[in-house]
Structure 1
Amino acid sequence: MTNPHGVHIARLLPWAGSDGKPCFLLTDGDGYLTRIADNVESVQLDMAGELLDHIDDLLTGPGATSDQLRYGLARMSESLRDVKRIADSRGARLSGPVADGN
């Protein structure tokens, strides 16, 4: 995605900084870091789907232990946090670019 000259998007990246705060990339929608972020989002979404399948199997199968369920719930929480960050990032980009004063 290429925007007209001088128009940039502040993209929420699919990872947090070392202090746990959100990371943003000021971008025209194209470039090396944008492609890395796209790839990370794709991996996170694929992993979320695989985790859902695993949890479905665990819940429908016989004899899931409380430790298995607790572990699965912890991974689901992490995955949901990643998916929410992706949704927030994509939603912000849909609302339109911000004009850069340069």
Structure 2
Amino acid sequence: MTTQDELRLLPWAGPDGKPCYPSTDDQGGYVSRLADHIEAFQLGMASQLLEHSSQVLDDETEDLEELHLLAAKLTSALRDVLRVATSRGRGPVARARP
């Protein structure tokens, strides 16, 4: 979690996809509660998507278009989960090399 003097990374992007931080808020303020709600929703969606992806990958009849859509949704969910982890102080310290 962020300490009192740290800015919280919000679970949505600002203009041009840049990180968004509240200019002023407290732990129980409206923006903080909204961010908590959105983070919980994003994590729940990622969990459901992970379950769905297992089903899609187990089905050998899935076509390339379905797999492409799944990859796009997984990429978006992973981006959201990493933003939540970073916001909570547990984000990646260094980027892994491909």
| Cα distance, 1:68 vs structure 2 | 0.5
1:41 partnered with 2:34: no
CA contact 1:11–1:27 (8 Å) conserved in 2: no
Matched pairs, number = 87
- The residue that corresponds to 1:76 in the other structure is 74
Runs of 4+ in 1 over 4 A off after TM superposition: none
Q: Give the TM-score taking structure 2 as reference length.
A: 0.81
Structure 2 counterpart of 1:22, which letter?
Answer: P
Q: State the alpha-carbon separation in 2 of the partners of residues 15 and 43 from structure 1.
A: 12
Q: State the alpha-carbon separation in 2 of the partners of residues 31 and 45 from structure 1.
A: 21
Provide Cα deviations, 1:33-82, integer angstroms capped at 9, x if missing partner.
10000000000000001111111000112311111001100110011000
Q: What is the SS of the residue equivalent to 1:8?
A: coil
| Cα distance, 1:27 vs structure 2 | 3.2
Q: Give the TM-score taking structure 1 as reference length.
A: 0.78
CA contact 2:26–2:32 (8 Å) conserved in 1: no
CA contact 1:14–1:41 (8 Å) conserved in 2: yes
| Cα distance, 1:19 vs structure 2 | 1.6
Q: State the alpha-carbon separation in 1 of the partners of residues 74 and 59 from structure 2.
A: 18
- The residue that corresponds to 1:18 in the other structure is 15
Structure 1: gaps (5+ residues): 93-102
- The higher relative CO (CA closer than 8 Å, separation ≥ 6) is in 1
Structure 2: gaps (5+ residues): 91-98
Structure with higher strand content: 1
- The residue that corresponds to 1:95 in the other structure is none
